[in-house]
């Protein structure tokens, strides 16, 4: 049978990875797919740079639309990035009847509903394993591996840059700014690292996983997003003393009243496997009602890990494109006519526990005034750590771990505590999850 013909738009680092993996493993891939998969045309504005990568093994075109217009091409890989041109190209490819494979998390988190609807109407598939957690087949696990389950929650380290920074901060006791510079020097962080360190990239990926897990449309605008820029080495140390690590987690959880969708630094018990995921690695924990806890770990970025996911999508499309379209794997895991309108909960209704650090005057009655406020808001305390103040010091750190509560209730209590004359600086609050 004639090989599946693939065109690639955006031949950058990942695109080159796709080319190399497809070339190197073509025999292995054909033995698996039952049909060859051939990259026949690639697009990059700079033709010389493109030819330096693919040689004469694929046609090189300067105009992305030439890939889409090519009637020989069955599948278009979009690796342009961004949400403007990429959106146009993906929609045009779909309109032209091409299946699409993309690694573009921002595009799908923001415009997924429109794109998947267009693909469904046209009877083509959009593969996006590479959009979440790089080479880890987490989209496949969620959409196909756990179909018997009612998914309860997902918690993931889905941004390698921030996990690298947090690992370094803990290992070396350094502060955020110092480690960020090191990460940039080593290539783990980009020159403009905003999307990573502010949690936006993680929120894109989380939005996609949440939709797939719970059968709801992608709703990036409703995600609560906090990055790691405010995180202090002090709190990483205190967390450690209490048996916790701090990770930037994307968390989405089904509650009776709606779905939590949030990215923020989180204390996690040090004994949990995910707390031990170090450096630039990614990991996603999925809790299902039948399977219990499962975890998926691997490289979340990089040319070949991402290419691994792109090629898996190519093979899947090669397999499923002859299947009855109604029984292909639905884009959002659930059939388009079976999506739910479960609301995304506002932050005030999120349930979580907290780590609090208060700089307080070292005098009688301070702890009592604080615990009274917590009690008034129905907040129960799990643990308290009061540092011995040094000789002559008049203030000390008070660390409190709470049990689960509504975020809104905690915010109200925090405002009251912050107003106490014995609380001497801004209170640090970091969410905590037991993940059990």
Q: Is the dihedral of CA 77, 82, 83, 85 positive or negative?
A: negative
Site for a second copy in 127-156 (CB under 8 A): 129, 135-137, 140-141, 143-150
Residue 376, number of CB atoms within 10 A of its CB: 11
Rule CB under 8 A: choose which of 3, 5, 12, 30 binds a second copy. 30
Residue 35, number of CB atoms within 10 A of its CB: 15
Asked whether position 244 contacts a second copy by CB under 8 A, the answer is: no
Stretch that binds a second copy, among 14-22, 111-119, 386-394, 412-420 (CB under 8 A): 14-22
Quick one: 137 or 227, whose CB is closer to a second copy?
A: 137
Interacting residues of 258 by C-beta distance below 8 A, sequence separation 6+: 342, 343, 344, 345, 349
Give me the helices (H) in 377-406, please.
Answer: none
**End-to-end Cα distance, the chain:** 49
Q: Is the dihedral of CA 48, 53, 56, 62 positive or negative?
A: negative
Answer for the pair 6, 75: CB distance below 8 angstroms, yes or no.
Answer: yes
Asked whether position 24 contacts a second copy by CB under 8 A, the answer is: yes
Please tell me the count of residues contacting a second copy according to CB under 8 A. 70
Quick one: 199 or 330, whose CB is closer to a second copy?
A: 330
Angle (nearest 5°) at CA 232 between 179 and 387: 135
Rule CB under 8 A: choose which of 9, 21, 119, 179 binds a second copy. 21
Quick one: 86 or 283, whose CB is closer to a second copy?
A: 283
Backbone angles phi, psi at 211, to 5 degrees: -60, -45
Classify 241 as helix, strand or coil. helix
Rule CB under 8 A: choose which of 335, 348, 372, 418 binds a second copy. 335
Q: What minimum distance in Å lies between the beta carbon of 89 and a second copy?
A: 23
Quick one: 66 or 152, whose CB is closer to a second copy?
A: 152
Answer for the pair 317, 229: CB distance below 8 angstroms, yes or no.
Answer: no
Interacting residues of 10 by C-beta distance below 8 A, sequence separation 6+: 43, 44, 64, 77, 78, 79, 80, 81
Asked whether position 2 contacts a second copy by CB under 8 A, the answer is: no
Asked whether position 205 contacts a second copy by CB under 8 A, the answer is: no
Stretch that binds a second copy, among 164-172, 198-206, 289-297, 344-352 (CB under 8 A): 289-297
Quick one: 131 or 225, whose CB is closer to a second copy?
A: 131
The catalytic residues are 205
Specify the residue for token string 């300067």: 62
Q: What minimum distance in Å lies between the beta carbon of 305 and a second copy?
A: 5
Q: Which residues bind a second copy (CB under 8 A)?
A: 17, 21-22, 24-25, 28-35, 129, 135-137, 140-141, 143-150, 215, 273, 276-277, 288-299, 302, 304-305, 307-312, 314-316, 318-320, 322-324, 326-330, 333-335, 338
């Amino acid at each position: 049978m004639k090989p599946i013909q693939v065109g690639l738009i955006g031949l950058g680092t990942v695109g080159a990875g796709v080319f190399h993996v497809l070339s190197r493993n073509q025999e292995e891939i054909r033995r698996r797919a039952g049909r060859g998969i051939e990259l026949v045309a690639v697009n990059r504005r700079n033709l010389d740079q493109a030819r330096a990568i693919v040689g004469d093994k694929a046609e090189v075109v300067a105009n992305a639309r030439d890939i889409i217009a090519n009637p020989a091409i069955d599948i278009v890989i979009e690796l342009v990035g961004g949400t403007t041109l990429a959106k146009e190209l993906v929609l045009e490819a779909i309109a032209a009847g091409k299946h699409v494979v993309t690694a573009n998390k921002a595009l799908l988190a923001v415009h997924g509903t429109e794109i998947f609807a267009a693909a469904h109407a046209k009877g083509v598939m959009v593969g996006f394993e590479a959009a979440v957690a790089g080479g880890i087949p987490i989209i496949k696990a969620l959409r196909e591996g756990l179909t018997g389950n009612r998914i309860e929650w997902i918690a993931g380290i889905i941004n390698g840059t921030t996990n690298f920074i947090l690992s370094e901060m803990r290992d070396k006791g350094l502060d955020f700014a110092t480690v960020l510079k090191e990460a940039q020097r080593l290539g783990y962080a980009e020159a403009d690292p905003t999307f990573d360190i502010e949690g936006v990239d993680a929120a894109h990926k989380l939005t996609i996983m949440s939709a797939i897990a719970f059968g709801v449309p992608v709703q990036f605008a409703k995600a609560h997003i906090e990055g790691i820029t405010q995180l202090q080495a002090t709190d990483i140390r205190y967390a450690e003393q209490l048996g916790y690590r701090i990770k930037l987690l994307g968390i989405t959880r089904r509650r009776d009243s709606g779905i939590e969708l949030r990215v923020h630094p989180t204390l996690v018990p040090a004994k949990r496997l995910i707390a031990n995921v170090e450096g630039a690695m990614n990991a996603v924990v999925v809790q299902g009602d039948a399977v219990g806890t499962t975890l998926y770990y691997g490289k979340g970025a990089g040319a070949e890990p991402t290419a691994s996911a792109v090629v898996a999508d190519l093979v899947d499309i090669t397999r499923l494109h002859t299947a009855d379209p109604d029984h292909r794997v639905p884009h959002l895991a659930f059939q388009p006519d079976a999506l739910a309108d479960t609301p995304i909960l506002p932050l005030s209704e999120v349930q979580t526990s907290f780590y609090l650090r208060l700089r307080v005057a070292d005098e009688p009655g301070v702890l009592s005034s604080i615990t009274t406020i917590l009690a008034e808001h129905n907040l129960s305390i799990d643990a308290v750590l009061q540092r011995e103040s040094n000789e002559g010091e008049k203030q000390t750190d008070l660390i409190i771990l709470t049990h689960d509560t509504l975020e809104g209730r905690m915010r109200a209590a925090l405002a009251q505590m912050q107003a106490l004359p014995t609380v001497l600086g801004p209170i640090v609050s970091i969410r905590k999850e037991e993940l059990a």
